[in-house]
Amino acid sequence: MLPYSTASEAEAALGRSMSYAEGAWFRYSAGMPDYYLYCHIVPMLLIVYTLLSVPLALFELGAPSIALRYKLQPRVQLSPAAFLRCYMDTMRILLVTIAPLHLVSYPAVKMAGIRTGLPLPSVGETVAQLVVYLLVEDYLGYWIHRLLHTKWGYDNIHRVHHEYTAPIAFAAPYGHWSDVLILGAPSLVGPSIVPCHITTLWLWLVIRQIEAVDTHSGFKFPFNPTNYIPFHGGAEYHDYHHFVGEHSQSNFSSLFTFCDYLHGTDKGYRYHMANLVKSTMKMKGAATTTMATPRSEAK
The CA angle 130-134-135, to the nearest 5 degrees, is 120
Residuewise pLDDT in 10s, the chain (299 residues): 788 889 999 999 999 999 999 999 999 999 899 999 999 999 999 999 999 999 999 999 999 999 999 999 999 999 999 999 999 999 999 998 888 888 889 999 999 999 999 999 999 999 999 999 999 999 999 999 999 999 999 999 999 999 999 999 999 999 999 999 999 999 999 999 999 999 999 999 999 999 999 999 999 999 999 999 999 999 999 999 999 877 778 899 989 999 999 999 998 898 888 887 777 666 666 555 554 554 443 44
Kindly list the distances between the CA atom of residue 83 and the CA atoms of 69, 146, 194, in Å, as whole numbers in the listed order. Answer: 20, 28, 38
Domain boundaries, the chain: 1-32, 34-287
pLDDT (0 to 100) of residue 99: 87
List Cβ neighbours of 115 (8 Å cut-off, separation of 6 or more): 195, 196, 197, 198
Kindly list the distances between the CA atom of residue 230 and the CA atoms of 133, 161, 234, in Å, as whole numbers in the listed order. Answer: 16, 27, 11
Bridge partners (DSSP) listed for residue 115: 197
List Cβ neighbours of 36 (8 Å cut-off, separation of 6 or more): none
Kindly list the distances between the CA atom of residue 48 and the CA atoms of 95, 96, 172, 224, in Å, as whole numbers in the listed order. Answer: 14, 18, 12, 18
Please choose, from the candidates 92, 111, 90, 89, the residue with its C-alpha nearest in 3D space to the C-alpha of residue 188: 111
Q: Which long-range contacts (CB under 8 A, 24 or more apart) does 7-10 make?
A: 10/118
